[in-house]
Amino acid sequence: MKNLLKEETHTQLLDYQAVSRYHRRTGIIARDEGDLVGAAAHYKSGADARPPNGINSEADDCQVLLGLCQLSMGNFTNGWDNYEARRFSAVGGHSPLAIGGGPRWKGQPLEDAETIFITPEQGIGDQLLYLSPFAHNQEFFTTAGGQWIIEVDPKIEPLIRANLPMSVTVRASTITSDLSGGPMIHDLINLSDGPTLHTLNQRAELFQACTYQASVVDLCRSYNASLTLPLPGSSPWSHTSYETTETATALNSYLNNVSLKPLTVGFSWKGHRGGNPRKRARMEDLLPLMKEFKNRGYTLYALHPMDRPEVDAIDIKVYECVPGDVSQLHSLVSRLSHVITTPSTTAHVAAGSDTRTTVLCSTGSSAPWYWRMDGNQPSRWYPNTEVVLGDSEYENIEWAKPAVNSLINK
């Protein structure tokens, strides 16, 4: 009898998972076609398909996607709540809270003696985005009280540290990341000896001594549940706050002293390490846009290394930034007049400067919610940035030409 009941329960679970899986897949199709309302309806149906014990990993995935869809539509109250399911879902890609820390901080004021440890979450671009409100409103940390430790990806640590209050401790994460940018907890177990283990032990001691923990997304959510957007009109990240004299001299010399921002445009279509394949384009896809700028007298710059055939395709300069040096990339784009990019880390680096930036998101680009919410209009996160949502893939780039021509003519 017990075996029969067990088999029946297992069959019911598979049925629930099949329902959730169907709505997840159908919702993704609707989302990619621009029907966010229809996508949200499917995701909700999939999230609600739960057995009596409530356990259905496919439903968790649907709930995460529902949250992202709601955030895309500006429904922050429900969106943030449903996005919490990322802690249990493969869609979230990671568990943002680390093992062994204090209880999760939920936005309450802190006593002077209390400390809070903010862990990184998701990719480099996401960390830049979620911390950008605090570059604008540094008084937040004084009002919130307590002592703050913010851990970020090592590639952006100099940039973040230079643009947040000195009272905030910004440290480079000693935990490696998976493809989605989340901490790989097993690294803490597998790493054996030497300086790495010592560094991790130091981090563990620091982490365990803190009163509370939270992720960088939690921090952004606590800033304002409805996210008061648009953010102020100035760029969140200043390159002059960390840039060395040597870097400034080299960049100015390379760009023929562009302090007055002449007609220069940077293009990025694949990220420095290739990145998410759904956020990449081919250079030939963007060639029509490059020619539009070239015909108007612009000098073109590639914001990442290029293959030889790409270099030969058009007169475009390549600045050999140190691989993974986001601060140097930020210094470079800050000196250009325009940047055209797919939704990669480069998009956040450029958008966080004073340079006018256009983010191109094709139908299949898997653009994050914060780009989708501002499709075909100025971004509410970055005042100098416009997001263009295409109705086809990058190889049919005609959908971006009106926005590019409008940008050139301004």
119 forms bridges with which residues in the sheet? Answer: 215
- Altogether, the residues listed in the chain come to a count of 410
Q: Quote the pLDDT of residue 191.
A: 38
What is the Cα–Cα distance from 16 to 58, expressed in whole angstroms? Answer: 8
Decide whether 2-88 matches 239-409 in CATH topology.
Answer: no
What is the Cα–Cα distance from 86 to 63, expressed in whole angstroms? Answer: 8
Which CATH homologous superfamily contains domain 239-409? Glycogen Phosphorylase B; (3.40.50.2000)
Cβ contact 130:219 at 8 Å: yes
What is the Cα–Cα distance from 30 to 33, expressed in whole angstroms? Answer: 5
Burial 333-366 (b: 16+ CB within 10 A, else e): bbbbbbbbbbbbbbbbbbbbbbbbbbbbbbbebe
- Domain ranges (residues) in the chain: 2-88, 115-223, 239-409
Of 181, 177, 157, 156, which is closest to residue 169 (Cα–Cα)?
157
Which positions ≥6 away from 199 have C-beta within 8 Å? 174
Render pLDDT for 59-77 as a digit per residue (tens, 0 to 9).
999 999 999 999 888 888 8
What is the Cα–Cα distance from 159 to 182, expressed in whole angstroms? Answer: 20
pTM: 0.82
How far is residue 81 CA from its own chain's centroid? 19
Q: What is the mean pLDDT of the chain?
A: 78
Q: Which fold has domain 2-88?
A: 1.25.40
Q: How many CA atoms lie within 13 A of 59 on its CB side?
A: 17
Q: Quote the pLDDT of residue 142.
A: 82
Burial 113-149 (b: 16+ CB within 10 A, else e): ebbbbbbbbbbbbbbbbbbbbbbbeeebbeebebbbb
Q: Which residues of the chain have pLDDT under 50?
A: 1-10, 95, 98-99, 177-198, 226
Render pLDDT for 117-126 as a digit per residue (tens, 0 to 9).
888 888 888 8
